[in-house]
Amino acid sequence: MNESLHVQIEDLLTRFGSARVVVLGDVMLDEYWWGSVDRISPEAPVPVVSVERKGTKLGGAANVSLNVRSLGGSVKTVSVVGADAAGETLKSLLRDKGLPDDGVIVTADRPTTVKTRIVAHHQQIVRADIETTEEIHTSLLEKVWAAYLDAMRDASGVIISDYGKGIINGTLLPRVIDWARSNSRFVVVDPKETHFFAYRNVTTLTPNHHEAGFVAGRRLRDDAAVRSVGFELLQRLGSDSLLITLGERGMALFEPPDRLTTIPTVADKVFDVTGAGDTVIATVAMCLASGGTMLQAAYTANLAAGQVIKEVGTSQTTVEAIRHAVGQIPSPIFHTSQGHATA
């Protein structure tokens, strides 16, 4: 690894404790039922799961906030939950993790998003979702806007965590982005395909290769396709940068006008990429909030993602784990400019 970048990242990590970030988006409650299967139902050809234990975790934008907190940053979450038991549980979990819940608005007009996963013998049998994807109505939108402005008073920037559940919409989004950029705050986005080209002029977007390929209308099967689609999207979005995550292949950072940096994965084993996107965007935001560049942010996020994909299910990493990865795994960085690669 480039020695100067190694030192820069080490220094950046020491400033994470003073970072302040806002997460705006769709919070969810992830519910798990674990059990075993020893028979097929006589009612239908489906397995009968004998449930042995249950558990709940923060999901969606709430998991992004948890990732920021795990990295030592201060974070405020702005979102909406239903006036139901799941909403109470979600807000309680936020408080239990040391995360403020005053920006999470309770409404009787929509349910809390809940994803229930039934798992037997380490295999997910089925997932049941309770949700609405309808956009929040005007009065609720104004409450979210007010909570956003309040949360941003002492924050360096905002993470927009869009899971397509209606919190992020065409009315709120331009107001959020315009205010942040006009007030020298960064905006980093984990985009939903349906809103992809509404995220114009942001600091960076972090789509995975499936999402980037979908909006571009082609699959990113090789490096040439990644390069072509990445620069096309960067130009269409007018963003400061674009960071495409490539799973076990690492990441590709695009910066105008024609700079591409490819970063190979540092994970020696890949068990589960669930939640890795949340870790990536949280780490990028922490780096930017700590005064880092996008190159430093991308490399640090790659190290962070390399830690969580070694675990099964959503998980978080820490500054200590990233620092250990910096010291132990000297992965190379390749810079590509105008189609010519250099080590």
Tokens of 109: 């007009």
- Euclidean distance between CA atoms 254 and 226, whole angstroms: 10
Angle between helices 3-13 and 319-328 (to 10 degrees): 170
30 is catalytic: no
- Euclidean distance between CA atoms 146 and 172, whole angstroms: 11
The three-state secondary structure class of 278 is: helix
- Euclidean distance between CA atoms 287 and 239, whole angstroms: 18
Of 215, 219, 221, 184, whose CA–CA distance to 198 is shortest? 215
Tokens of 117: 């996963």
Of 159, 113, 110, whose CA–CA distance to 135 is shortest? 110
The three-state secondary structure class of 115 is: strand
Catalytic pick among 30, 190, 240, 278: 278
Tokens of 97: 């993790």
Q: Give the DSSP H/E element, type plus range, for residue 20.
A: strand 20-25
Long-range residue pairs from 320-323, CB within 8 A, at least 24 positions apart, any chain: 322/13, 322/71, 322/283, 323/10, 323/13
- Euclidean distance between CA atoms 282 and 79, whole angstroms: 17
Query: Which sign, positive or negative, has the C-alpha torsion 200, 202, 206, 209?
Result: positive
Give the active site residues. 278
